[in-house]
Structure 1
Amino acid sequence: MKTLSITDINERARDIFRQIVEAYLATGEPVGSRTLSRLPGMNLSPASIRNVMQDLEEIGLLSAPHTSAGRMPTELGLRLFVDGMMQVGEISSEERAQIEAQVKADGISLEDALSRAISTLSGLSSCAGLVLVPKADIPIRQVELIPLSAHRALAILVGEDGSVENRTFELPPGMPSAALIQAANYINARLVGRTLDQARKLIEEELSQNKAELDALAAQVVEKGLAVWSADDDHRDVLIVRGQSRLIEDAAARGDLERVRQLLEDIESKRELARLLELALNASAMKIFIGSENRLFSLSGSSVIAAPYRGADERIVGVIGVIGPTRLNYARVIPMVDYTARVLTRLVSQQ
């Protein structure tokens, strides 16, 4: 099916459609033909406007709530407006200064800077702020394997930065202590000085090519350890969310608590939300997800605006954004998210 574009509707319909969307985003209320006919420069009767509104409804850009004679944009209509008609505003100098002051405060860690950034973004946008913290690829200094029982062992990984991580895994039946020591020596010889990902690739290659001088049980320990560490490593992105209360305040004022209740449940499913933000990791620019375009928000009718931020090598290392109702001020919020991402890029590049 052909994708609908702004050129598929005539100039009169485009003008009426734009007026409806802008009024809806400002008030959250359906817009009626009589209201539109009173706008400056709108030289059409309510009847003529209703005809155009009906045409826009038939092609899926507007909908009519049962309780109102007015029209409001559908998710398809919002997408068309955001992609083809919206004029993005400018972030003010005061807002720029507020973002930079929070992010660049002396003596704070990167994670604290990211947390402050989304808290500030949440306050400025009246949405909840989101940030996907980059994975920490820290070289390993030492690994210890400690038996916990006849069937389980504890692996202790010490990073070169002094960080310590613990993982437990299953032991093969009949595993002697000598084989556990052999496995630990083998892993240490390949892990030390390398990141977990680098060492994992090397060990997997050696095991697959039978180059490892390990007995069968020790090799099983290494393979089981790799499986546990791989699964853990795949979920090491940290999602920080701030400002959920702003969504509740907005909903209470509008009598829309059920939608926000569903949205808060969606946010609590942080793994799914992180997967959504990870889509922006593969994008060179900002991503905007509107409502049911993503299944996570098919019930709550919410939008996410997310922008990647980069490290010193220009590689994308994380994502920052906001989540709110589909009726958010895209023209105002988009430049806020974009500017915050650029400030974070400078910060991360300098560290």
Structure 2
Amino acid sequence: MTSLLSSFRLAGLTLPNRVVMAPMTRVRAAAGGLATSSMAAYYAQRATAGLIITEGVQPNAVGQSNPGTPGLHTDEQVASWRQVTEAVHVNGGRIFAQLMHGGRVSHPDTTGLRPVGPSAVAGEGDVFTPTGPQPMPVPHALTTAEVVEQAASYAEAGRRAVDAGFDGVELHGANGYLISQFLSDNANLRSDRYGGSITNRIRFAVEAVAGTVDAIGADRTGIRLSPGAAFWGATDGETQELYTALLAELATLEPAYIHVEATAEEALLRELRRVWPGALIMNPSLPMGPKPTGRDDADRWLGLGADLISFGRAFLSNPDLVERLRAELPIEPVDMAALYQGGNDGYLTYNAYQYPSEAAAVPVAA
């Protein structure tokens, strides 16, 4: 059976283990969507992961979902990320930027802009704003020409990511954000070539990936998916047919990987593994679900054919997670109240495991 701690060759990168740090929003960016020295320290602390995937990074201004998140659409943002990528690389790590366009999951109080989406259908639930949670407004329904522009924003952000020193990018096609909204059968009510049939509903995702592949190369491009998830009210009916068709189209582009969340029945997830010819990163737990990913989950999914396993919350409170998994050390719980509070508390305050000193272990003679 494949070992979680064995190496893996991922599109030109040699990963020393199969442990991936999943993308997790931390809202610690500075004004203007700039990465900070604290963010550099945070990611560098976790550089023993086989691969780090950053928090969601907006590819353009209208794509920002939450306050305090970083971007990759200005020269200043690119420059600010270099301290992060350099710190990770100096510590021996590899890092992809997750490109996350919120689409309708946004608010004018955050961006100063009206959110956009495939159709004029508001998302379900409240979204974070600088003044607290607020209902999502009805988004501007993108024209056909505007859809093409938004798809191209991932490629442009990908170019900037490479300029900033990232090893690649992951397009966020999951969790009810813009790509997921186009895949949806209730957020996407379009009648043009981007809506209606499965062939049309997958078109935006395929074009976004294809553009990024053209811009920076297939080996630098991945995508995250959450089949059947229904986040923010975006459902994707005909889930198996939809994702089977999507993977068939993506396979022709030969991206570095797909990153799948366990948001559907296991039978469907195993079928997607069967039909996908490339590398698969599996996240065995639901985002913010009751049980974070553990070693048993990882070993099980490696046995089911996953190539890499992404860990989320366990990486927040255990910067040395790889060592803890290797030595079967205790996994510290995360302080949920500190996830989005800002500052370094609950961000840089978690330490590596402290082994008992040899002196303390030697009994003192009477």
> What is the TM-score with the length of structure 2 in the denominator?
0.23
- Greater RCO structure (CA 8 Å; 6+ sep): 1
> What is the TM-score with the length of structure 1 in the denominator?
0.24
Larger helix proportion of the pair: 1
